[in-house]
Amino acid sequence: MCKNIYNAAPLPFMGQKRRFIKDFKNVLKQIDDITTIVDLFGGSGILSHVAKCERPDLRVVYNDYDFYCKRLDNVAVTNEILSVVRSLVANVPKGKKIPNEIRYCILDLVRQYEIAGFVDYITLSSSLLFSGKYATNYDELSKHTMYNVMRRADYDVDGYLDGLEIAHCDYRELFPRFPNKEKTLFLIDPPYLSTEVGSYLCYWKLSDYLDVLKLLQGTRFIYFTSSKSQIVELCNWLSENGDLCKILKGTALFTQENVINYNAGFTDMMLVKV
């Protein structure tokens, strides 16, 4: 049994699937003839965490390609930095721009911690930059205007990875390690096309995205995508690979609407074939 049950990743991560957690749990409850769940694109690990909490009887493999684990391991340092930053911005109104003299102090603080060993820039970004903006290194952070959007409480990651097997490799290396496709459920959540992927450690082209589809043949999977995918180019590619057109036949579709602003948005999708 999980020590703590999280419905969202404990540290900020772009592209979390927390809106799908309820549907995801319902699907897991309906599957009674698998032994293993493999999260090929583990991201923040929230799907792996939920899978293990919901199905402790199963082997769950979390592929941490983005090294989210390193951020979790250093959460005490992150909390320490944020504690100092809170004191620096104590007199700055919530949501307001941080004056340059305080901003320079914050940057000096961050530089000191970077020299000492580790800085979680993505988590710091969520307290210093407006929603949707991330810095992944000192140079990027130094170029941003900062705002007081500080998180008031420390981050708690206790028990988040309990019971998981953790890998750190390319999905193409991990996939062949599980040849028993009848007893394995694959979670497939690659970086989306035509969406911001600035916090990922890699850049995804359409060909990379399409290569993932080849893995779905003959597998049991839960696959995440978005209405922002380049569907015309996708269809052209599928027309040259006829057998792959049948991959999504018979899948169940779950959707979640994402609003960007008053006149723009897109739909996240979870496709299930088990």
Residues 84-131: pLDDT tens digits? 999 999 999 999 999 999 999 999 999 999 999 999 999 999 999 987
Instruction: Show the domains of the chain with their CATH numbers.
Output: 18-67+158-273 (3.40.50.150), 70-143 (no CATH)
If residue 167 lies in a helix (H) or strand (E), which one and from where to where? strand 165-167
In this predicted structure, the answer to whether residue 188 has a pLDDT above a threshold of 70 is yes
What is residue 200's predicted lDDT score, i.e. its pLDDT?
47
pTM of the model: 0.83
In this predicted structure, the answer to whether residue 235 has a pLDDT above a threshold of 60 is no
Look at residues 43, 22, 37 and name the one whose alpha carbon lies nearest to residue 204.
43
Is residue 263 very low, low, confident or very high in pLDDT (cuts 50, 70, 90)?
Answer: low
Is residue 133 very low, low, confident or very high in pLDDT (cuts 50, 70, 90)?
Answer: confident
Is residue 258 very low, low, confident or very high in pLDDT (cuts 50, 70, 90)?
Answer: confident
Please give the mean pLDDT across all residues of the chain: 87
In this predicted structure, the answer to whether residue 231 has a pLDDT above a threshold of 50 is no
Residues contacting residue 227 through CB under 8 Å, at least 6 positions apart: 266, 267, 268, 269
Within the chain, residue ranges assigned H as helices are 21-30, 46-54, 68-73, 75-88, 100-116, 121-128, 138-143, 171-174, 206-215, 231-239
